[in-house]
A = this chain, B = another copy of it.
């Protein structure tokens, strides 16, 4: 049972050396005699010495932490996004000896206030910002403060330089359209949300661009919109879209949660997927594999993205690159059974 030595002072006393020497020896400085370095390392290992983070942070100005601000979501956290994201970040960070701080936003506080607190308290050397909205005060604050950060997602404003990693939703939605068009579909539906998140625009624009590329005037697009967390309104909007004989033959949903609602409501309305209706989602949540008949969707590999984000952020922190670092990740199509040829019976 080793003596419990916690501090450098005690370790130094045990070895008959000064604090300075021990500190330098552990840091591997060449100026310390090799024999001494080895002796110190051995003693440190034996007593299980771990440097105090607070003291080290205070003097070095680096905490070794990366922050993530976590807004409290609605009561039903429907998918595994957060778990995958956090796992990916952790994997990316730990490879460089960094760790993650999760700062939850209290009910009555603004997310920006929590972000400010994380930054100003010096708890973290950099932060990850998710769920980018059209006008994002967090990014504005961080840039003004010139604090290292990486955004998961993009602003629409391209004049604003910053580090980001994003999923190429525009490309995915274009790919979905092309595939469905080639299957004969001409009447499309888009199920989307009303919140001002930028990924909504990007995906929607990708779809519009793909439609424009075809230059086929017979292509039609209906849009159903509902608030992100209002399940009732969403169901209503979807039903309105599926009602009547002049309904779309193919529906693209902004993300799987919406697509699953489409599948449910289609079944309830007596429509068979994909015979009467093709449905395509985005995210590849676990349930999409189990919901009959199996949802065709896109996988954005959140975990991998998060790992990349961690890498980017650590680079930003260490090297302060002049030009912003950016990555656009192309999602992969997961082809299941919810899409097929357009029904013949209707135009």
Residues of A bordering B, CB below 8 Å: 6, 48-55, 57-58, 63, 65, 70, 72-73, 77-84, 86-87, 90-91, 93-95, 99-106, 116-117, 120-123, 260, 285-287, 289-292, 303
This chain: copies in complex:
2
Report Cα–Cα, A82/B77, bound state, in Å. Answer: 11
- What residues on B are CB-neighbors of A105 within 8 Å? 94
User: Do A120 and B6 form a contact, CB below 8 Å, given A83-B83, A102-B90, A290-B290?
Assistant: yes
Question: Which of A48, A51, A83, A122 has the most chain B CB within a 10 Å cutoff?
Answer: A83
Partner of A291, one of B79, B90, B290, B303: B290
A98, closest chain B residue (CB): B104
- Shortest distance in angstroms between A35's beta carbon and chain B's nearest beta carbon? 26
Partner of A63, one of B54, B86, B303: B54
Report Cα–Cα, A117/B94, bound state, in Å. Answer: 13
- What residues on B are CB-neighbors of A100 within 8 Å? 101-104
Can you sample 29 A-B contacts with CB below 8 Å? A48-B116, A48-B120, A50-B120, A53-B57, A54-B54, A54-B55, A54-B63, A70-B86, A72-B90, A77-B83, A78-B80, A78-B286, A79-B286, A80-B82, A80-B83, A81-B83, A82-B82, A82-B86, A82-B87, A83-B83, A86-B102, A90-B104, A93-B104, A94-B103, A94-B106, A99-B103, A285-B286, A286-B286, A290-B292
Report Cα–Cα, A53/B117, bound state, in Å. Answer: 10
- B70 pairs with A87, CB closer than 8 A: yes
Report Cα–Cα, A22/B94, bound state, in Å. Answer: 38
- What residues on B are CB-neighbors of A82 within 8 Å? 80, 82-83, 86-87
- B72 pairs with A87, CB closer than 8 A: yes
Report Cα–Cα, A123/B50, bound state, in Å. Answer: 11
- Shortest distance in angstroms between A100's beta carbon and chain B's nearest beta carbon? 4
Report Cα–Cα, A104/B104, bound state, in Å. Answer: 19
- B117 pairs with A50, CB closer than 8 A: yes
A66, closest chain B residue (CB): B102
Report Cα–Cα, A255/B100, bound state, in Å. Answer: 29
Report Cα–Cα, A289/B287, bound state, in Å. Answer: 8
